[in-house]
Amino acid sequence: MRASLGTLWIAIGAAASLLGLVTLAVGIGTKRPALLELGRRFVAVVVLAAVAAFAVMESALFAHDFSIAYVANNVARATPGLYTFTAAWSALQGSILLWVLALSIYVGATTWRFRARAADPLVAWATLVQFAILSFFFCLMLSGDVNPFKPISGAVPLDGAGPNPLLQNHPLVAIHPPFLYAGYVGFAIPFSFAIAALVTARFGEGWLAAVRRTTLISWGFLTIGIVLGAWWSYAVLGWGGFWGWDPVENASLLPWLTATAFIHSVMVQERRGMLRVWNLSLVLATFCLTILGTFLTRSGVINSVHAFSDSTIGPWLLTFLGVCAFTGVALIAWRGDKLRTPGRIDSPVSREAAFLLNNLLFAAFAIVVLTGTVFPLLVEALQNKQITVGEPYFARLAVPIGLALLFLMAVGPALPWRAASGELLRHRLLIPAWVGAAALLIAVLAGARGVANTLAFALAAFTLASIGRSFYVGIRGRRRATREGVPAATVGAVRGNPRLYGGLLVHVGVIVVAVALATTGGYTTHREVQLGVGDSARVRGYTVTYLGRDVSQTAQKTTIKARVRVSGIGVLAPAISTFPNSAEGIGTPSIHTTPWRDVYLTLVSAPTSGRVTIGVQVGTMVMFLWIGGLLMALGTALALVPARRRKVLPAVAELPHDDEVPALAEVST
């Protein structure tokens, strides 16, 4: 019953998407507003179908309806309720269903937002593109092995296999994937408006206003998803790290890099009308990279703890990726002459030049990651040889780019538009430069390891001081305006700029993450110690004593814990759990976290014969990674708050003795 009902809702969603696509195409071709309005109404049916299909899946999971193959393969009667709920996206078919649900919600919200502009060709074309993407994924789920409601072949089992052990071992499975999907899928909206802008030749600044908030929301979700993924890797996988340049990790980083570049460069187009081709290309590339990431994780072409099993979905995703990329490139080539802008960079020492260099560095970073991720796949496909591109490649190329981006993060906001004089730069950057130099000296005296780590500390201090100065100048400008009788509306224009201050808070979060990476990379100790009951070992000032083991068993799993006393902390209990559907044990680290130091214990193997091998890792400032991610999330939320005034009044520029107030406020225009 549920299998038929779920498949029916998917078919309704596919039919509504295709009908909306055709209706809008005819309405655009014949210029009939009634058809455009009718086409828009199909979005409601699509959203209803996606929500209903997902609800049917959850109902089947909790009812243990093992007549559905997906339920039989991904949940068991002993699976706890939380992991029964998250099983809806724990395998290939369910992940595509979640993809469609998130996309439907985005499209529904976008359609509602532009409900008064249904007859606008830009909005109509964007909705048509959104219907095309929805049609592809709905129809994909109707095919054989991608249908989440496919009935099981043969007799219906009395119990299911249960989720992948790694996906029922930590509550983050309920948070990380939805945030990541919300980030991935949301970039379909800017993509659709970019295509619409190219088709309608309205590629000025109007389409940017239409996608700014959605882009920032998607970027924020993806940022949180990546940070939560790092936390999950650290807290669940038991290897003591949080980022290993795994192909699936890289697949989420790639669209984040290009989207970050777009968020920065869009300000140049808004202010100076420049970089039109570049911004369109970044939007198109970001969406294409999300499809590439979907292909990498769901086609079975890579071996990863994050990837799904082999399937026939790969060729379809590659074809869809090719169509999206070809369409975007062809439209840009077609509109090439009209995309030229009269604006140009007047000086290499200007804000627009800094933004351009920033974009080039982000693009270079993306190329480095893309090459290291895809090159082994190409070699295997062409030469039938397996090679690995490991951390040394990424670190050697990515670290210098990251340091250069930190430097630009400090210098860029201090530069005015068009050109800057040497005197102005000295005035704005002298104090931050001295702070950076002092941090460099302190890092060297404190024994910082490696040139890159030492430079990271110095540049982080330089950037943080520059951001602090920007906050100070903004507050001083507001007070001066109030004191000297500037109209209240003008003061509000300076003060009511959440987009600017949200961006500065995001930058603070990035600095905190950079310092944490430098610290954990240079000051982490890892040892493996073999201990008998009552034996002790000394690791970086901590005495580790093995007290014995405990065994517990539930219907879900069997867990063996080692009780380990750590001096100054107490008893920690790293564990290994065995699940019925897996012969291999899954390790669970035990972590004692403080803002300055983490003690991280793992079981190298299950304790036997009174002896145990324990992995002991002492890391420094790991918590600041999560604090930095939180600051980035808060900064994104602040940047989404509507500004009190969207345009700076001329009176602001007339404030005496403060030429930086307009530079701070102009970002909100």
The position carrying tokens 């990329």 is 325
Express each pLDDT in 557-612 by its tens digit: 888 999 999 998 999 999 998 888 777 788 889 999 998 899 999 998 877 777 89
User: Contact at 8 Å (CB) between 649 and 493?
Assistant: yes
pLDDT of residue 651: 38
- Which ranges of 412-450 does DSSP label H, i.e. alpha helix? 422-445
pLDDT at residue number 485: 57
Beta strand pairing call for 558-566 and 542-553 = antiparallel
- Sites in the chain below the pLDDT cut of 70: 204-205, 299-311, 342-343, 346, 420-421, 474, 477-496, 643-669
Is residue 566 within 8 Å of 544, Cβ to Cβ?
A: yes
Phi, psi (deg, nearest 5) at residue 559 = -120, 130
What are the strands of the beta sheet with 597-603, ordered from one edge?
A: 525-532, 611-620, 597-603, 590-593
Half-sphere exposure of 250 (CA within 13 A, CB side): 25
- Residue 545 to residue 564: CA distance in whole angstroms: 6
Q: Could you tell me the end-to-end alpha-carbon distance of the chain, in angstroms, rounded to an integer?
A: 55
- Orientation of helix 33-62 relative to helix 92-113, angle to 10°: 140
Separation of alpha carbons 504 and 665, rounded Å:
12
CA angle, residues 544, 545, 549, in degrees to nearest 5: 125
Write down the pLDDT at residue 666.
Answer: 37
CA 502/CA 637 separation, integer angstroms:
7
At 97-152, the pLDDT tens digits run 999 999 999 999 999 999 888 888 999 999 999 999 999 999 999 987 889 999 99
Amino acid identity of residue 461, one-letter, is A
Give the pLDDT of residue 650: 42
- Strand-pair partners of 542: 539
pLDDT of residue 300: 63
The token duo for 30 is 């014949």
Q: How many CB atoms lie within 10 A of CB 366?
A: 24
- The torsion angle over the Cα atoms of residues 129, 131, 136 and 142, rounded to 10 degrees, is 180
Q: Is 95 within 8 Å of 89 (Cβ atoms)?
A: yes
Residue 362: CA count within 13 A, CB half-sphere:
25
Helix (H, G, I), strand (E, B) or coil at 74: helix
Q: What is the pTM of this model?
A: 0.89
* Rounded CA separation 168/15 (Å): 35
User: What's the rounded Cα separation, in Å, for the pair 100 and 102?
Assistant: 5
Contact call for residues 130 and 188 (beta carbons, < 8 A): yes
- 650's tokens: 């001329």
pLDDT digit string (tens) for 38-87?
Answer: 999 999 999 999 999 999 999 999 999 999 999 999 999 989 999 999 99
DSSP 648: -
